[in-house]
Chains A and B, each alone.
Chain A
């Protein structure tokens, strides 16, 4: 088995795996594009045997396979960095959301207490309609605005 065949097989396997993951909805589109590009590069290097040597000559590397390894490593490092940037962005959003949820929860608590106080001050309703109908709550609003 030649190293080119290995590379091509690897490329096909990765590409197949990615497509399967996207198909099963385990991988978001944006991430899939990156990994598919990665797989295509592996496939290309395998299918065009001269490409590695050509790359090595072009960039003046004495032992071309090292260039491939270095490029692969750089691509992975870049991917990790992008991942951390994304995690940072998410962390910011999560923190904002947590703050907002806590604030809204407090406001809801206040509103509920206000509503209960209003219900208590109003004459008792008929037992058949425990849920306050919409027109009544509009009247509540009007009353609050008048206070």
Chain B
């Protein structure tokens, strides 16, 4: 039997990116250096050469032909990881608000605590409106997580398997729906304080305009209400299933 590859060889950094050509190359280099593993950029139907910039940085690239949103792109990365034998996936946002330097700590925490998902949070970055919104969702769902939307995460093998499934495909955001799904299947989530910068070139996809906010709040509230009293399911096992 072949020797088991090292954890770093089975780890993949996934960066969902839409029109982030100016920053993505540097980010890819930083992430590869910091996490000591391969980097995959999922270009979410970008039109500004994001894919080429990411390749210049040394990343593997997949290009979605139509826009699927941040979660759809992340899930494409999870499915890629499964097909290519990676079992741990690290995600970070491409807009420059996550410092790749904090990846080793996040990865180490996930490995040490045995949590299925480690989330890098920085609660101070939240505006008052966001804090209020998160409190509302926490009250509805009973989730005990400070920063619901943070895209800085480490997904362990069980989480990668679970979230690559088609049940997670219709989620529009990586936040409440994903966290509820993890809880429903008995997966553990740990939070790690991390440093974040103000956004670089990009802007928040969720908190872009009042209309978008209203839609997001209504959608997510419905999602929360529909999940009240959802029965728990047996946890996914880490054994390989059929190729997704």
Contacts and interface: CB of A to CB of B under 8 A. Distances in A.
Interface stretch (B58-66, B145-153, B205-213): B58-66
B75 A99 contact: yes
A88 B169 CA distance: 11
Contact of A92 (B62, B66, B83, B169): B169
A95 B170 contact: yes
A113 B30 CA distance: 25
B72 A95 contact: yes
B68 interface: yes
A131 interface: no
B6 interface: no
Interface of B is mostly: mixed
A91 B60 contact: no
Interface of A is mostly: helix
A103 B84 CA distance: 10
Contact of A103 (B66, B68, B80, B169): B80
Given A95-B68, A95-B72, A98-B68, A103 B170 contact: no
Contacts of B83: 103, 107
B79 interface: yes
A10 B42 CA distance: 53
A98 B67 CA distance: 9
Which of the four size classes fits the interface of chain B?
10 to 19
A105 B42 CA distance: 12
A147 to B, nearest CB: 14
A102 interface: yes
A99 B166 contact: no
B60 A106 contact: yes
A106 B61 contact: yes
Most buried by B among A88, A92, A98, A101: A98
Contacts of B189: none
A96 interface: yes
Contacts of A92: 166, 169-170
